[in-house]
Structure 1
Amino acid sequence: MTLTVGLVSALALTACGPKEPPKKDPAAEARTVRVVRVENRAITGSLTASGSLIPREEAAVAPEVTGYRVSRVLVEEGAYVRAGETLAQLDGALIAAQVEQQRALAAQAAIQADQAEAEAARVAGLDGQGVLSDEALQ
């Protein structure tokens, strides 16, 4: 009998439980949207603001050689430039003076080489005669 009472009470409790909510139709849940064709239009409205601009990247522009003066700047500040474009010209006077100095040093070295060859030829004739010491011959 207790078994029967237990089963009846269990059935009664499950019958009193919450009911399953009714299922909604997916088509009823769909949202309505407005579709428009893409077209070019002017953007209206403006914004005035003050502040400081900070660049994402900075480029340090300097000649590969030091000590030379810039004779001409070929682009304006803030202008767009491409890689390899000439931005400025260096003054060629200092470079030309250094080239002339190196030419003079080369000519002087050539003269010294000629003098050394002449001295070596002169000493070579006196080698076996005992006129010069061994130290002078070296």
Structure 2
Amino acid sequence: MKHSFFRFLLVGIINTIVGLSSMYLFLHPLHFSYWLSTFLGNTIGCCVSYFLNKSFTFKSDKPFASSITRFIGVILICYFLSYYIGEKIALLLFSQLPILPSAYGKDAAMLLGTGLYTICNYFGQKYLVFRRESLAG
């Protein structure tokens, strides 16, 4: 597992299990709203993500104080973009395809948003948060 993207995906599997399980717990048994469920689930996953990505994925030695601010910024931008786009696409698809039960629209939006979030977050973490400084510079 030399490449950071594969390590990121492994950490992502852990984050997805933790975060998505939390989201569905908040959405269904606890009946929280879509946005509150996705926000709380992502917050829980982010706590795990920061430490695993810093130490395992990107092997960063950046100080906590400098990397946590960027980490939170990237997470928030990725969160709002991904879940907004995911919700819009899922609701559009479910409104255009009457064979899909509309009750699953929010569930599909969460899954789509999670996929978009993973891709967006990887590049943000790699190039903005845990970027290694060039030795030539």
TM-score normalised over the length of structure 1: 0.25
Higher-RCO chain (CA-CA 8 Å, sequence separation at least 6): 2
Select the structure that is richer in strand. 1
Select the structure that is richer in helix. 2
Answer with 1 or 2: which has the greater Rg: 1
